[in-house]
C-alpha cells in the first residue's frame, strides 16, 4: 500500500506543471497520504518456534562398537622370500598364503629319497677312507 501511494504522489507531481493548483494540492496531500499509509494494520506478530519435548536419562558407561563394511583388497605390509638349503621337489605345503606361522614351523616338505641315497653314499665313502 505504501509503495502505491508513493507512486501515485510522484505521478501527480510529474504530470502537473509547477504553477498548477493541482500540484499545490498534491504537495499538501503527499505527507498526509504517506503518514496514513503507515497507520494501517499492525505488523504481523513474530511466532515463537514450536516447543520440542525432550527426555532426560542418567549417564552410564557402555561399550560402543563401530562396524564398517567395505569392498577392497588387503595387501600385506611385509613379504618374505623363503628358500631351502637343499634342492628337491616340494611334495607338500602345510600352510596357505596369508597364514600366520611360528618360528621353526615346517613351511614346505621336500622329497628326500634322492637326498637319503646321496647321504648313504657319502657315509659309505667316509667309512672306506677311514
Residue 109: CA atoms inside 13 Å, Cβ hemisphere, count? 6
Q: Tell me whether residue 119 is in a domain.
A: yes
Q: Tell me whether residue 27 is in a domain.
A: yes
pLDDT in tens, 57-68: 888 888 888 888
What is the count of structural domains for the chain?
2
Q: Tell me whether residue 55 is in a domain.
A: no
pLDDT in tens, 2-18: 666 667 666 666 655 55
pLDDT in tens, 35-77: 666 555 666 677 888 888 889 988 888 888 888 888 988 888 8
pLDDT at residue number 11? 66
Higher pLDDT, 85 or 90: 90
pLDDT at residue number 122? 93
Residue 18 C-alpha cell reads as: 509547477
Q: Which domain holds residue 6?
A: 2-37
Q: Tell me whether residue 75 is in a domain.
A: no
Q: Tell me whether residue 23 is in a domain.
A: yes
Q: Tell me whether residue 114 is in a domain.
A: yes
**Considering only CA atoms, which of 88, 67, 5, 75 is closest in space to residue 13?**
5
Rounded (5°) CA angle 31-36-42? 140
Amino acid at each position: 500500500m505504501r509503495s502505491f501511494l508513493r507512486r501515485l504522489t510522484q505521478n501527480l507531481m510529474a504530470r502537473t506543471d509547477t504553477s498548477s493548483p493541482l500540484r499545490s494540492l498534491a504537495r499538501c496531500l503527499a505527507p498526509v497520504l504517506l503518514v496514513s499509509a503507515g497507520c494501517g494494520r499492525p505488523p504481523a506478530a513474530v511466532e515463537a518456534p514450536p516447543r520440542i519435548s525432550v527426555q532426560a536419562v542418567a549417564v552410564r558407561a557402555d561399550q560402543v562398537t563401530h562396524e564398517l563394511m567395505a569392498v577392497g583388497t588387503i595387501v600385506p605390509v611385509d613379504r618374505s622370500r623363503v628358500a631351502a638349503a637343499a634342492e628337491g621337489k616340494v611334495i607338500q605345503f602345510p600352510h596357505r598364503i596369508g597364514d600366520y606361522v611360528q618360528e621353526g614351523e615346517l613351511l614346505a616338505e621336500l622329497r628326500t629319497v634322492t637326498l637319503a641315497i646321496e647321504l648313504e653314499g657319502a657315509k659309505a665313502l667316509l667309512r672306506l677312507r677311514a
